């Protein structure tokens, strides 16, 4: 059976759990990461030199990088509805899904980091009001991009229908919704912008049983 190493409070671990639930893939999960078994453990570091969760183990195959794990799972399960085939006929549709998966890992993810560590994790050293405000502005700018794209597709991030890209992007939206921006914003003059298409998208994702049971888990 597939083994997943990583705690559920990690957004990157939840991507994999949500994907497994969407695809009906059984797995056994072990708690690793801050607050649990340390990823500095030599046995863990031998699996992932970055010492980060998630890591998946499928027999003699070990894989890390959450978005790569999502692509691998979709390919293994032949879920071409979630990630179109890697052939010329489906090149455009596949690239559109991959574009949003990569955008999450690079642009979207980078924008929220400071604000999330300050307002949710309350991490030491992340208490500079100017940097929090800048991160919130940048994060809101990413949400504006999602808003415009959803207006175009009329459904999900890469297309009208749900695809693999909705897992990483959807969890980023979930994080935005659950972060207590208002508390900080009032003092700093930052107001959470209204994004009606993002709200409707979030409601759509929240209606999915796999998100309810494995994606959200009540944590940002």
Ligand X SMILES: N[C@@H](CCC(=O)N[C@@H](CS)C(=O)NCC(=O)O)C(=O)O
Pure H helices in the chain: 11-23, 42-47, 66-76, 91-103, 109-119, 129-153, 166-178, 181-188, 196-206, 209-210
Give least dist CB 32 to ligand X, A: 7
Query: Which lies closer to ligand X via its Cβ, residue 91 or residue 123?
Result: 123
As measured in angstroms, the least distance from the Cβ of 152 to ligand X is: 27
Cα–chain-centroid distance for residue 121? Answer: 17
Tell the residue number behind the tokens 């070990």, with chain if given.
62
Tokens for 33?
């990461």
User: How is residue 7 annotated by DSSP?
Assistant: -
Instruction: Rank residues 12 and 135 by Cβ distance to ligand X and give the closer one.
Output: 12
Q: How far is the CB of 104 from ligand X (least distance, A)?
A: 9
Minimum CB distance to ligand X smaller for 117 or for 188: 117
Residues at the contact surface with ligand X, assessed by CB under 6 A: 10-12, 33-34, 39, 52-54, 65-67
- The rounded distance, in Å, linking the Cα atoms of 156 and 150 is 6
Write out the two tokens for 59: 């027999």
Q: How far is the CB of 199 from ligand X (least distance, A)?
A: 25
- The residue nearest ligand X at its CB is 33
Nearest approach, Cβ of 53 to ligand X (angstroms)? 4
Distances in whole angstroms, Cα of residue 118 to Cα of each of 129, 153, 207: 9, 33, 29
Q: Residue 23 or residue 52: which is nearer to ligand X going by CB?
A: 52
Beta carbon nearer to ligand X, 119 or 133: 119
Residue 189's region, left for phi above 0, alpha for psi from -120 to 50, else beta, is left
């Amino acid at each position: 059976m597939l083994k997943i190493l990583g705690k559920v409070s990690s957004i990157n671990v939840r991507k994999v759990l949500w994907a497994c639930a969407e695809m009906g893939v059984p797995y056994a999960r072990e708690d690793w990461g801050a607050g649990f078994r340390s990823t500095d453990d030599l046995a863990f570091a031998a699996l992932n030199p970055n010492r980060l969760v998630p890591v998946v183990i499928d027999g003699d195959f070990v894989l890390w990088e959450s978005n790569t794990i999502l692509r691998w799972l979709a390919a293994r399960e032949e879920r071409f509805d979630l990630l179109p085939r890697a052939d010329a006929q489906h090149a455009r549709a596949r690239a559109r899904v991959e574009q949003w998966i990569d955008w999450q890992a690079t642009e979207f993810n980078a924008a929220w980091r400071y604000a999330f560590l300050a307002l949710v994790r309350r991490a030491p050293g992340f208490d500079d009001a100017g940097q929090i405000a800048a991160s919130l502005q940048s994060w809101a700018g990413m949400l504006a991009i999602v808003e415009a794209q959803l207006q175009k597709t009329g459904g999900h991030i890469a297309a009208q229908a749900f695809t693999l890209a909705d897992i990483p992007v959807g969890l980023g939206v979930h994080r935005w919704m659950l972060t207590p921006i208002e508390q900080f914003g009032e003092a700093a003059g930052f107001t959470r912008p209204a994004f009606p298409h993002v709200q409707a998208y979030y409601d759509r994702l929240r209606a999915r049983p796999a998100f309810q049971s494995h994606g959200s888990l009540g944590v940002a």
